[in-house]
Amino acid sequence: MQIHVNGTPRELDVEDDMPLLWALRDTLELTGTKYGCGVAYCGACTVLLDGQPVRSCMLPAAAAAGKRVTTIEGLATGGKLHRVQAAWLEHQVPQCGYCQSGQILAAVALLDANPHPSDAEIDAAMTNVCRCGTYGRIRAAIHSASKV
């Protein structure tokens, strides 16, 4: 099957029901997408599929055929961080950092859909779990990125 990953057409020779997470990590060697819970709860595996956040641990690779997939590796362009990545650094969001690629991609999708979200809208959209509890910093970084 063919998918577009981070702007590049890629051919995947995997079983249709292989989770997209493992196709990205094991076949394409894009290891920024993390395995967390394996049941689409925590969001560590979040990627963008045609601009929408999806939990890749439960999404069959075949569901991405012919679509655009964006992983954390595909956000920075031309050596410049995406505005959400820059805000993450500015607000020192990560502690352990494990969930952050999924958090950042969920935030990118939120800001693409709603450029100036309220606290309540951020809380409703950001369903990824952070065991370190950096939710206040995540919210601050999203507000900062919304002003760029």
- Whether the pLDDT of residue 137 is over 90: the answer is yes
Q: How confident is the model at residue 148 (pLDDT cuts 50, 70, 90)?
A: confident
pLDDT tens sequence across 15-34: 999 999 999 999 999 999 99
pLDDT score for 120: 97
Which domain, by its residues, includes 67?
2-74
For residues 55 and 103, state if they share a domain: no
Same domain, 100 and 69: no
Task: Decide if pLDDT at 121 tops 80.
Answer: yes
Whole-model pTM: value is 0.96
Residue 12 sits in a domain whose CATH number is 3.10.20.30
Report the number of distinct structural domains present in the chain.
2
Whether 11 shows a pLDDT value over 80: the answer reads yes
83-87: long-range contacts (C-beta < 8 A, 24 or more apart)?
Answer: 83/145, 83/148, 84/108, 84/111, 84/141, 84/142, 84/145, 86/145, 86/148, 87/141, 87/142, 87/144, 87/145, 87/148
